[in-house]
């Protein structure tokens, strides 16, 4: 397939902190998709990245040490979410396995919805 490298075409979200930005920049592959909520101004995007285990572990440790994120798990998948002070009901959700990281951010989605969509994306990749 012709076109830009996915890592050149998908920009790092502006809400990423230093550890997340480093993990994003060292990812080996990325796929992104945006979704709109019908008959509303709401929508969200999902970015799924292939990351190395060391970067994922460092990111999980940094997120666990932060007091900004709610943390839960689904099996071996670490899940983190936080509100973002923009738009109506804007949340950021992360889900990480040792080699897959999913980012979900959008308006009119809850923290629970954002992390569950991220975890579903990780689960789908792991198949």
pLDDT digits (tens, 9 = 90+) for 65-75: 999 999 999 99
Give CA separation, 3 vs 10, 13, 32, 49, 55, in Å: 12, 21, 15, 18, 27
DSSP state for residue 84 in the 8-state scheme:
-
pLDDT band, very low/low/confident/very high, at 10 (cuts 50, 70, 90): confident
pLDDT digits (tens, 9 = 90+) for 77-110: 999 999 988 767 889 999 999 899 999 999 988 8
pTM of the model: 0.89
């Amino acid at each position: 397939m012709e076109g830009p490298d996915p890592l050149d075409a998908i920009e790092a979200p502006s809400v990423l902190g230093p550890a997340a930005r480093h993990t994003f920049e060292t990812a080996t592959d990325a796929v992104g998709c945006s979704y709109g909520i019908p008959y509303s101004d709401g929508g969200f995007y999902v970015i799924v990245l292939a990351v190395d285990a060391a970067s994922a572990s460092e990111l999980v440790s940094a997120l666990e040490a932060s007091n900004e994120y709610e943390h839960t798990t689904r099996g071996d998948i670490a899940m983190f979410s936080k509100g973002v002070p923009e738009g109506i009901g804007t949340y950021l959700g992360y889900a990480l396995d040792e080699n897959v990281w999913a980012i979900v951010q959008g308006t009119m989605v809850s923290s629970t919805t954002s992390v569950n969509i991220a975890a579903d994306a990780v689960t789908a990749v792991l198949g």
